[in-house]
Amino acid sequence: MQNLEVSAMLSVLDFDLAGRAVPIAEPETFRLGMPHMCTSGVRRSWLLKEACHRHWLSIAAQVGRRPSEFRDISGARIFASVVACILDGDAARFREDDMCQLFMVEVPSAQTGWRSQFVLTSGTKTLGVEILTSYARRNGPSNSELGAPELFERFRDERDHAAARRAGLIRRIGRHDRELAVRDEAPPHITFEINEDAHLNGVGLVYFAHIHDMIERAERNAVPEYVGTYPMRNRRAHFYGNLDVGDRLEITARARARSLSPNPSVVVHSHARRASDGQVIACAESIYAR
């Protein structure tokens, strides 16, 4: 995550349907309470959901369509599907009743490879989020049948643009992690059955933030002596597919020392497979440190 001066941050974007993003004068403000919190600080999945919602609305502003109106050349509905997210910062520093502001510091666009960046701040406390999306369409009734659509020009990213370099790097790292996961035959540490009400979003797909939560639980299950002791400082997660109701997500996690005393840190690598066919659905790298 790049170092960012709060004074230079862009505001969260509002939008109309005329195809232009309209800056709001002030960032969005939250008083942290039960919907935002868990026992270890601000809930990361809440922040991911808030950031991704604004990511989608910003894209809608630029292309002049509501998210529900996104279509490919054939007329099929397409989705701005999350292919990667990065969390940077210590969620445990945030407390109930903290007054926080959520800033969008980079707007998703064709020039950035549809990558956005947000920062949640409260005084000196910060928690950053990056969201990277790609477009997908259904090629059948199953969530395992998502594919790449033929896009109108307004949806095509400019991967050769200088501003898209970071998005390209994140995509390459994700492909590398997936290749390693495909070759890993270790048994899963924990399994989750996909439930319609708990895990699906409004278009019937398993929401990426729920997969992120499952990975976090798998890390705690696999290495509780580290995950329960050290704050999580950074997590990079990549998403490659989806699941149907009743399918199971099998997650394997393993840890290694990243640094030793006096500033110990541990990195945990995880990957998640769809039990029905063994396909890798997600990978993550998390850093826990004192």
pLDDT (average), residues 128-141: 96
- Co-location of 202 and 149 in the same domain: no
Contact, 127 vs 95, CB < 8 A? no
Distance between CA 286 and CA 221 in Å, rounded?
14
Residue 128 pLDDT > 60, yes or no? yes
Contacts of 224 (CB under 8 A, 6+ apart): none
Burial class (CB in 10 A: 0-12, 13-18, 19+), 123: exposed
- pLDDT for the residue numbered 146: 95
pLDDT (average), residues 86-96: 95
Contact, 182 vs 174, CB < 8 A? no
- pLDDT for the residue numbered 288: 93
Give the CATH number, domain containing residue 192.
Answer: 3.10.129.10
Distance between CA 101 and CA 26 in Å, rounded?
9
Residue 175 domain flag: no
Residue 171 domain flag: no
Distance between CA 225 and CA 221 in Å, rounded?
9
Type of residue at 125: K
| Domain enclosing residue 225, as ranges | 184-290
pLDDT (average), residues 254-279: 92
pLDDT in tens, 143-181: 999 999 999 999 999 988 999 999 999 999 999 999 999
Residue 133 domain flag: yes
Distance between CA 144 and CA 240 in Å, rounded?
10
The torsion angles phi and psi of 275, rounded to 5 degrees, stand at: -65, -30
Predicted TM-score of the model (pTM): 0.89
- Co-location of 206 and 78 in the same domain: no
The torsion angles phi and psi of 184, rounded to 5 degrees, stand at: -85, 120
At residue 96 the predicted structure's pLDDT band, cuts being 50, 70 and 90, is very high
The torsion angles phi and psi of 51, rounded to 5 degrees, stand at: -65, -45
- pLDDT for the residue numbered 21: 42
At residue 2 the predicted structure's pLDDT band, cuts being 50, 70 and 90, is very low
pLDDT in tens, 169-212: 999 999 999 999 999 999 999 999 999 999 999 999 999 999 99
- pLDDT for the residue numbered 88: 96
Highest mean pLDDT among 20-24, 102-106, 222-226: 102-106
Among 140, 166, 192, the domain-final residue is 166
Q: Is the dihedral of CA 61, 63, 67, 69 positive or negative?
A: positive
Residue with the two structure tokens 């809608």: 60
- Co-location of 89 and 218 in the same domain: no
pLDDT in tens, 13-24: 333 333 344 333
- Co-location of 144 and 31 in the same domain: yes
Residue 18 domain flag: yes
How many folded domains does the chain comprise? 2
pLDDT in tens, 35-82: 999 988 999 999 999 999 999 999 998 888 898 999 999 999 999 999
Q: What angle do CA 263, 264, 269 make, to 5 degrees?
A: 140
